[in-house]
Amino acid sequence: MRQVVITGIGVVTSVGNTKDEFWHCLVEGESGVGNIEQFDTEKLNIKVGAEVKNFHGSDHFSKSQYSLLDRFSQFAVVAAREAVSDSGVTISDEISLKTAVIIGTGAGGQNTQDDNYRKIYSEGTRRLHPFTIPRLMINSAVSHVTMDLGIRGPAYAIASACASGSHAIGQALNLIRSGVTEIALTGGTEACITFGTMKGWEALRVMAPDTCNPFSADRRGMVLGEGAAMFVLESLENAQARGAKIYAELAGVGMSADASNIVEPSVDGAARAINEALREAGLEPEDIDYVNAHGTATKLNDITETMALHKSLGESAKKVSVSSTKSMHGHALGAAGAIECAVTALAVFYGIVPPTINFTEPDKECDLDYTPNTARKTKIRAAISNSFAFGGLNAVLALRKVKKGSKNNIN
């Protein structure tokens, strides 16, 4: 079975619109959470979010192209461009036929949806933009990435709520392993900070009114985020042959369904996904030096995830560095798993564990090392990134360091 590696990363997030800016902000513990500025929040109870800042679609697209793209598609295309540039790969006509595009999103074109509902129901508009449907459809981001970069291989969207990005990356991994494609451009994108979406999340009563502080006793809930992360995946042999920079090996993916509750997480389901990721990657619990936690800062998730890590990692759970970077970039829903995979790959590459910021007093039921408030430089041989979605759909990605010129990756 072919080893698959990450050779390109592109991001658009609330803490940076490029990979380097993103990583700098995470290591420094800078927060992307603030008052929502995209629309009037007077009628909202929750007025904070982790918005992408200083991003203007008109800076990245021609006028005719811009009119066709919802915000979530804009994020995906810009992140995809950076990932391809970062990888140094050339997508020739021949290569384009063997390159896949797999992108996860939880909700698709919510800005388009929200704008049109307002025009129809509030303003009484009788005619909408002719490209309303192409803008809001779930696969819009995938389609625009293929057209922008000239990619003609397998391409489709994945929708599994908060696990969408991780599921998409796992699918891309398996396409390369199986030989269906040589290269994959994959990740997740979301732009859900709209008035209607915020009202929906308010109704669930899981949103914090101020900040995000996972695993702390005084946590009050999640903060909605937005953005995208995209990756170039290819076989280790291909990457080494062209002298590519390798961030990490994408060594395994574990997937499971809780089959129990539409909103409450399951210890068993989460632990099974972690165990499967380790098994597929050929890793033992003691090999894991870092866990990028799902860590939403909701009362139930943080306790459930802590229990799942104890169940899956055993005694090693107490020794591993854990952090929830949602404390900085918010919960980007369908893009969350991809953004956090980017965090994990960069953590492995640089040997730095980013912190869980805003950490105060630990919850008595959250008893692991959550890397409070300050980044930690350490050797990271292997790591996992957890994504546990509403609907009980779980995806865990296992990454490990690749030693140059060697296939022995755990040392």
User: Would you please indicate which residues are annotated as catalytic (active-site) residues?
Assistant: 162, 294, 331
The Cα–Cα gap between 333 and 40 comes to 22
Whether the CB-CB separation of 408 and 268 falls below 8 Å is answered with no
Q: Which residues of 97-108 are buried (b: 16+ CB within 10 A; e: fewer)?
A: ebbbbbbbbbbb
Residue at token pair 């969408």: 164
Beta-bridge mates of residue 50: 225
- What is the SS3 assignment for 75-126? HHHHHHHHHHHHHCCCCCHHHHCCEEEEEECCCCCHHHHHHHHHHHHHCCCC
Whether the CB-CB separation of 296 and 326 falls below 8 Å is answered with yes
Whether the CB-CB separation of 348 and 248 falls below 8 Å is answered with yes
The Cα–Cα gap between 324 and 273 comes to 18
Q: Which residues of 46-77 are buried (b: 16+ CB within 10 A; e: fewer)?
A: bebbbbbeebebeebbeeebeebbbbbbbbbb
Alpha-carbon distance values, 51 to 47, 90, 347 (Å): 12, 32, 23
Q: How far apart are the two ends of the chain, measured CA to CA in Å?
A: 21
The token duo for 23 is: 């990583």
Alpha-carbon distance values, 34 to 71, 194, 227, 382 (Å): 19, 15, 15, 33
Whether the CB-CB separation of 6 and 83 falls below 8 Å is answered with no
The token duo for 236 is: 């280790």
The token duo for 360 is: 């105060």
* Closest to 298 (Cα-Cα) out of 375, 203, 411, 216: 216
